[in-house]
Structure formats: C-alpha cells, structure tokens
Amino acid sequence: MRRRVVVSGMGCITPVGKTIEDMWASLMACKSGIDWITYFDATRFPTKFAAEVKNYDLGKYIPDPERFSACGRNIKFAIGAAVQAVNDAGLDDCSSLDPSMFGVYLGAGEGAQDFNRFMGIIAESRKGDEVDLGEFARLGLLRLNGENELQQEPNMTAGHLASLFNAQGPNLNCLTACAASSQAIGEATELIRRGDADVMISGGAHSMIHPFGLTGFNLLTALSEHNIQPQEASRPFDLNRDGFVLGEGAGILILEELDHAKKRGAQIYGEIVGYGSTADAFRVTDIHPDGRGATSCIKMALKDAGLNTDDLDYINAHGTSTKVNDQIETLACKRALGQDAYSTPVSSIKSMMGHLIAAAGSVEAITCLLAIKKGVLPPTINYETPDPDCDLDYIPNQPRETRKVRRCLSNSFGFGGQNVSLIMSEFAA
C-alpha cells in the first residue's frame, strides 16, 4: 500500500505578504504587489516594474543573519520561509526527527550575479575592454569572491536548509524553470511514498529582479510593457494581456508521511494526492500549440490521484498573462477535463504577485491548501475584457466563497517544455 503524504507546515516570503496569514489576506483583498523597480535604475528598460519583496529582514527569522551575508536574496527568502514552515509544523526542535529520514527537495533558482559591483569596477578601469585578471584583482573584483561565486549555485539553497535543520536525508534541487518548485514537491512526495524519507522540506525560492534577468525576459518579449499603471499590468486570461511580470520570493511546505504526522499530533493542511510531469518535446521557448504536454500532465495527475474529471473544485492556473500561455493552458484544461472544465473555477494569483519563476508553483500549492482550509477561492484581478480563446470561469476580480473546496489542481509550465500538475486534497482519515 502506498504511503500517504500530508502537509503539516507552510511558510512564504512573497511580494504580497511575508507570512501565510499576510499573503492570504492580500489575496482576499485583491491587493497587488507590483510596482516600479527600486533595486536598480530600470528607466531605460522596456519594462520598468516588477513585484519586489519590500523591507525583507532575515533577522526576523534567525538570530544570526550575518552568517548569510554572502548569500543572494533567493537563499535569504528560502530561509525565512523554511523557518516559518518548520515552526508551523511544530518542529521547532528538529532533534526529535530521525535526521537520516529528514530531507530537502527544492526547486530553487540561481542567485543574482553581483552586477552593480561588477559594473562599478569596470568603470574604474582605464583599460576598458583590455582589463585582464591582474587588473581585476587590483580593483578588487577577485578579492574574497570565492564564497560569493559559490552562493550563485542553485543547489546552495538546499544545502543551507539542510545545515540549519540537520536534515541528513535526501538533499536535492531541480531547476526546471517555472515548473521547478512544483516538480520538487512532486518528487519529494515520491521519496516519502516509497519510504526514502519520512519528512521533507520542499518548495522553492527565486529572484530574477536584476538587470540580467530583466534583460533576458525583455529580449524574449515575455514581459509586460504596461508602463502606466504597474498594478494593472498582470492580467491573466484578459484579452488585453501583454506579458508576465517578474516577481520574487519563496514558498516552503513540510511534507510528512501520514502516520509519522499523526504520531506526533501534527496539524494537517491537506494531502498531496496527485502528481504529473511531462515534456512538450517542442520548441524550448514555446508551449506546444495543441497543449499536448500540459494536457497529458493534468491527466497524469488525475490518474495518480485516482480522481475523475468532475472531482476537482478549483484550478490554480499557471496563468502567466502572456498571450499564448493563457490560451494554451485553457485549451489543455478543456482537453483534459472535457465539459467539466467549464464548471471548474480557475484563477491566477500571478495577477497580484507577479511570476515568482522557480518559486511560483510552491506558493500556488500553498494557496490551494489555504483555499481548502478556508473555503474561499482567490481571484484573478485585472480581468476586464474576455478573450474568446479563454472561455473558462476565471473568478474575476473578487474572491469567491464556496460551499466546499475538497480538491485543487495546480499547474506549472516552464520554458523548455516542462509541465507539472499537482493535486492537493482535503485530509480524510
């Protein structure tokens, strides 16, 4: 018999709230976290806004934040979210756990390069393009940069969390673009199901709000350029959508084998019952026009959960606010669910917090579990003009109270043709 996996703790750092409670309150108030970029001068970029995490203080979560001074924002976000999740799960003292059965599986993105410092040192140089390593060393670029370079690596986030909580079990990180943290949750679930771990810290963290990140997505023409009212720029499924908005943050879940959670009297938010993962096997920058990968991914998650197409009460869409993605995700939902797609509410919280890239799926999974717990569905804000190609129920502009939320589907689709679907269910003994 397959071991069951439940969620016993959650934590988040997002542009609309740095705790689970604050994030949920913002979603219910239809509050946008999107505004003008403050981290650097973006006035010459085609996109001048993003969803930043404002006034983040790692010292609120750990007593010695200075030990992580060399780390990027992504790692600091992950630590804050993980401390919240571990405490929420009643695991403040992780010494009660068997460390060999306690692991970490993240979908955490790479850290930001120290772009501003690099450019400042180049500006100091009198040799221009002829700067050599000796000149870089003299100007300080290579001084004490070994650890800084190490912190750029995506797997460092998982390593830091393992060290903080003495998690000596499986320690992994996958970086499958925008599907990463959803895939990490799915794979961590599989580790527990097959008995390789009892407890897993899972989710993701990422920040690409820096000149390199903004430049790259602008060159891909993926970002909104609605430089008038930033709060109105992210408008998933609306006819006038023109691209996604960069966000940043972290979402961490404590996944636990059911009997292990029950023995210690843990709270249970819900159960991970379905996981699907496929590839489009198409162009790496485009979703397949027939939505074949996304369709098969949703079907795979339903099969894994043992559910029918009419068993879903809510779909948390990938819903990026790009023309093609929203259209194809709508098509995939209809092909996977048939007529039941029209009676299943759908929304995208990216309309409020932007796209957290690798961390997006984990925060959206948390949102699904909160919807199950509270019986309210978050809205898609900025939905004003229906798109004939996007003809589902997108919960426009206001949260929706509902009689019962039992099972939620969360979709995550990434560059490279990565597709992941998770199904969260209310816990039933």
Give residue-wise pLDDT tens across range 175-222.
999 999 999 999 999 999 999 999 999 999 999 999 999 999 999 999
Give residue-wise pLDDT tens across range 356-402.
999 999 999 999 999 999 999 999 999 999 999 999 999 999 999 99
Q: Is 288 among the catalytic positions?
A: no
pLDDT at 253 over 50: yes
**Backbone phi, then psi, for 72, in 5-degree steps?**
-75, 170
Residue keyed to tokens 């996981």: 275
Q: Which pLDDT band, with edges at 50, 70 and 90, does 286 fall under? A: confident
Catalytic residue among 174, 318, 390, 408: 318
User: Beta strand pairing status for 248-257 and 199-207?
Assistant: antiparallel
Residue keyed to tokens 């299943």: 344
pTM, 2 dp: 0.93
Q: Is 210 among the catalytic positions?
A: no
Give residue-wise pLDDT tens across range 346-358.
999 999 999 999 9
Maximum distance among all Cα pairs of the chain, rounded to whole angstroms: 71
Q: Give the model's pLDDT for residue 70.
A: 83
> In 220-349, which residue ranges form alpha helices assigned H by DSSP?
258-263, 292-305, 323-337
Catalytic residue among 12, 174, 178, 390: 178
Q: Which pLDDT band, with edges at 50, 70 and 90, does 129 fall under? A: low
**C-alpha span between 238 and 382 (Å, rounded):** 8
Query: At residue 176, what is the residue type?
Result: T
Q: Is 206 among the catalytic positions?
A: no
Cα–Cα distance list, 396 to 35, 118, 224, 330, 392 (Å)? 21, 44, 20, 15, 11
Per-position DSSP letters for 285-311, written without gaps between them: TS--TT-HHHHHHHHHHHHHHT--TT-
Domains and CATH numbers, the chain: 5-113+152-425 (3.40.47.10), 115-147 (no CATH)
Task: Work out the angle between the directed axes of helices 292-305 and 323-337 (0-180°, nearest 10).
Answer: 40
Give residue-wise pLDDT tens across range 17-30.
999 999 999 999 99
pLDDT at 134 over 90: no
Query: At residue 312, what is the residue type?
Result: L
